[in-house]
Amino acid sequence: MSQIKIKTLTSVHIGSGETFQYGNDFVRGKEADGDSIIGIVEPKQVLALIGEKNLDAWVTAIDGGRSTDQIVKQYAPSAKLEQYSRRIILSWANEIKPTDTLKEYIHDGLGRPYIPGSSIKGAIRTAVLASCCKERDDLEQYARNKSGKVTAKIIEQKFFGKDVHSDVFRFLHVGDAFFGKNYEAAVRMVNINEREKAGFGDMTKSQLLEVLSPDDEAIFELRLKTELYERAKVATALLPECMHTLPELFQTINQYTKNLIKQEISYWMERQDKDDSGKVDDYLERMRQLLAEVEQCQPDKECVLRVGAGSGWRFITGAWTENWRTFETTVVPAARRNNQRYTQFHFPKTRRVDEECDVLGFVKLSILTE
């Protein structure tokens, strides 16, 4: 089993599935140095401060639109935010509105934020699939299932195996990566949206996310069980060449990320002059910084991967279908809702960023031991 160091190059969000409501589930505050913070409310600790006899008053106050911190101050004026919060995170959002909700980051039973091995493995799978599909012009025939719907499932089965018993990725074991050495934060995600009658900076679909901050590190375990593959290969799919060794796998991942970032830079440079919001300029600067990180990776030992929310359609799918002759007529209508309204735009036409135009999801993997 290899030891892998994972470092967050940008903020990362892996959702728990929980969404918090401002005032009820999370409240605002400030640290002594003036930094804005958010407290994730712990109801048991609130009750301990205000007394169980005041539970009905708390519920009535919440129903009336009052915030939990106001109620605590009423019954326990000297209480600090830390005393009734499950955890404290920094607030990097420019403002918090009464109607805001916050999507929670996933934590383990000990309260540690982590990136699940399944998320890392899924991102690796996409990189390997994109590598397998590269320069193949015969894959469109497999793009539709029996009902005529466009899907990548059949193509994945072609390269990786028809079911879980023959899938080659069962020989790649990826452990969870537990963080917590650095702080967590809340960021507001917005869009860069290619529009005709407005700047490309689009705040209309903003969302607060709890994130791992950049420059946090963790160690996780990863193993390519090629010895098991050799025993089972008669009944399984052919193992892709890049999955025979970790250095080969890391090379493939890094090249995949490099290609997509370079394509992003090229795409938005063509649209730079059409945007008067300055967001495209900022986005290009962030992408160039990430490209430099990719290019500085040690061959065979390091790679950059993108995981989690905000990754965008191209990174989630690998964008390998964009070379298809029928991309615009088969893939785009299946992937874009109300496609008929946006036929004058390339797909995808939006990118998810935070208010400072920083992107999410980029991590650096480094092999410590093999």
Q: Which of 10-14, 54-58, 226-230, 365-369 has the lowest mean pLDDT?
A: 226-230
> What are the residues facing 5 on neighbouring strands?
219, 366
Say what the pLDDT of residue 65 is. Answer: 86
> What are the residues facing 211 on neighbouring strands?
185
* Residue 36 backbone phi and psi in degrees, to 5: -75, 135
Q: What is the pLDDT of residues 66-77, one digit of tens each?
A: 999 999 999 999
pLDDT band at 146 (very low <50, low <70, confident <90, very high): low
| C-alpha closest to that of 209 among 96, 65, 344 | 96
Please state the rounded mean pLDDT for residues 266-294.
94
Say what the pLDDT of residue 148 is. Answer: 63
310: DSSP letter: T
Tell me how far apart the alpha carbons of residues 36 and 188 are, in angstroms, rounded to a whole number.
14
Q: What is the pLDDT of residues 193-238, one digit of tens each?
A: 988 777 898 888 899 999 999 999 999 999 998 887 777 666 677 8
Tell me how far apart the alpha carbons of residues 160 and 98 are, in angstroms, rounded to a whole number.
48
| C-alpha closest to that of 347 among 321, 368, 367, 369 | 321
Model confidence, pTM:
0.92
Say what the pLDDT of residue 125 is. Answer: 95
Percent of the chain residues topping a pLDDT of 90? 62
Residue type, 9: L
Say what the pLDDT of residue 51 is. Answer: 93
Please state the rounded mean pLDDT for residues 97-115.
95
Tell me which H or E stretch contains 202.
strand 201-212
What mean pLDDT value characterizes the chain?
Answer: 90
Pair of tokens at residue 223 = 């193993």
Tell me how far apart the alpha carbons of residues 74 and 23 are, in angstroms, rounded to a whole number.
15
Tell me how far apart the alpha carbons of residues 285 and 288 are, in angstroms, rounded to a whole number.
5
Q: What is the pLDDT of residues 295-345, one digit of tens each?
A: 999 998 999 999 999 999 999 988 888 887 778 877 888 788 877 778 788
